[in-house]
Structure 1
Amino acid sequence: MDRKDFLKKGLGSLAIMPLFAACKETDVDPTDTSGSTGTDSGTGTSTGSCTTTASETEGPFPTKNPSSLVTNDITSDRAGTKLTVKITIQNKNNSCAALANAFVDIWHCDAAGNYSEYGGTGMQSTNYTNVHFLRGRQTTDSSGVVNFTTIYPGWYSGRAVHIHVHVYNSSGKSLLVTQIAFPEDVSKVVFAQGVYATHGQADTTNARDNVFGDGVTTEMSTVTGSPSAGYALTHTIVVNG
């Protein structure tokens, strides 16, 4: 099965994917859904002005052992335009106050649209099963903030540009699986230069994306900067903590 087929068939495809090897006792299972189903939904739940960020699928390339990837700079050897990522986690159950000591995992594809930890199959032909680029974990500070250094994500057929995020509380309970969307005008500038130019412009807009197509109100990031200086992404995620 290739990625397009997976995206068309949705979460039902997960049933045929092999189970991951058991994690160590100290690991947090990236597929733990005790606090979030991880199903596709473009709209969050709202209480007053405090709106829970939409839940999305984490497949087909979730991080297999996130607790082993505690790092701020997740770039590894990947070439691309520098991107700093600042994510703020808020707790809807506490009037959207900052959620401290939460685990935040992020992962995304490289400039050519490939993910680490996977490959050599119809889903992704390039084999990157033994490397872990563009994946990392941080713990929120007292302001609910985590920061990462990475590259601007590339794209692959059938999906708009995105970053995956999985948020857990301090006890390791899954609170939310979601994705971060990107402004298309910024992506067009990035994909016209450097290592992105060979791959070209993304073939799927946010509106036509099967994950974001029902709206990106709670998932759209703010991205500022330039290809030469790099970009800065800021985004707030609201969970039911």
Structure 2
Amino acid sequence: MGHDHEGQRVSRRRMIAGIGSLGLGGLIAACTGQPVTTSTGESVTPQATTAQDLTSLFDGANTCTLTPATTAGPYYFDADKVRADIREDREGVRLRVAVKVQDSGSCRPIKDAVVEIWHCDAGGLYSGAEAMSRGGGALSASSPDLDPQDDERYLRGAQVTNADGVVEFTTIWPGWYRGRCVHIHAMVHVSDARVLTTQMMFDEALNDRVLAGRPYAARGERDTRNDGDGIFRDEMLMKVTPDGDGYVGAIVLAADPDGDSG
């Protein structure tokens, strides 16, 4: 819960609004205990907000095995979007993503970790890199992170884990692009370090079902499935169940909080 400079409690709504104005850098600073003040003059302490108790989603998904690490891919950058709903105007099947972050050594949840996710839309495009994800443009060799090429920021966002190590996002089922299976990128920050960069994948029967409908079907037949993807690992599969007009996917990410994947 946030406090102002006199130590008075601020409303939850104002706290969440204040966190949203911090951006990723400010959010990470707040999670390290550094004083962070919003534009309204309030000091805030970020915490995850979830629609319901998500504990049952992680049944059978708990692991203390270090989650496989990957590169951030060609389209990562700090989108400066601290939010749970990352859809913006993107059409697609609704997907709630529940992520639990835990210490790979102790199996304990990691509180106040910052989790970022990003992925392509139903047409295979990444925000900030639309032209590049259509096959145009080139990456800078001087930085591992992308210099954004446009002003779009859809399907990108960050949240802070609660006391159970959990964050929740609302997004859409990702589309696909040439050479890759269907996936979501994730990055975990503890203090000011990137301790895990990984990806999350889906059962192919569900991919077939979702991608056969609108707006995904307009992309045609995809060229790469899980078993043909060089990055895919079984540990990256989300546990997915129906959720109203969409799905909810849960995964445990086990990270070394003293490590650095960046």
Normalising by structure 2, we get a TM-score of 0.68
**Cα distance, 1:122 vs. partner?**
7.3
- Specify the alignment match of 2:97 in structure 1: 85
Q: Which runs of 5+ in 2 are unaligned?
A: 1-22, 29-62, 138-147, 258-262
State whether residues 111 and 163 of structure 2, in contact with CA within 8 Å, keep that contact through their aligned partners in structure 1. yes
How many residue pairs end up in the alignment?
191
Match among 210, 216, 223 for residue 190 of structure 1: 210
The correspondence for 2:239, drawn from 215, 222, 225, is 222
Q: Is the 8 A contact 2:126 2:133 kept in 1?
A: no
Q: 1:105 is matched by which residue type in structure 2?
A: E
Gap change, CA 1:87 and 1:185, over 3 Å in 2: same
- Aligned identity (percent) is 37
Q: Which residue of 2 aligns with 1:19?
A: none
The 3-state SS of whatever aligns with 1:61 is coil
1:181 pairs with one of 183, 195, 201: 201
| 1:26-68 Cα distance to aligned partner (Å, 9 max, x none) | 486xxxxxxxxxxxxxxxxxxxx62000000111100x224x2
Map of 2:68 onto structure 1: 54
Provide the rounded CA distance (Å) in 1 between the counterparts of 2:199 and 2:124. 16
On the 8 A contact 1:53/1:239 being kept in 2, the answer is yes
Q: What residue number does 1:111 align with? A: 122
Misfit runs of 4+, over 2 Å: 23-28, 119-128
Letter of the 1:232 partner, please give it: V
Structure 1 length as normaliser, TM-score?
A: 0.73
Give the gaps of 5 or more residues in structure 1: 1-22, 29-48
Deviation per CA, 1:130-169, whole angstroms, max 9, x where unpaired? Answer: 1100000000000000000000000001000000000011
Structure with larger Rg: 2
CA distance in 1, matches of 2:109, 2:133: 42
SS in 2 for 1:218: helix
Hey, which of these two has a bigger chunk of helix by percent? 2
| Structure 1 contact 188–201 (Cα < 8 Å) conserved | no
Aligned-partner residue type, residue 246 of structure 2: G
Give 1:166's aligned residue: 187
Query: Please, what is the CA RMSD of the aligned residues?
Result: 2.3
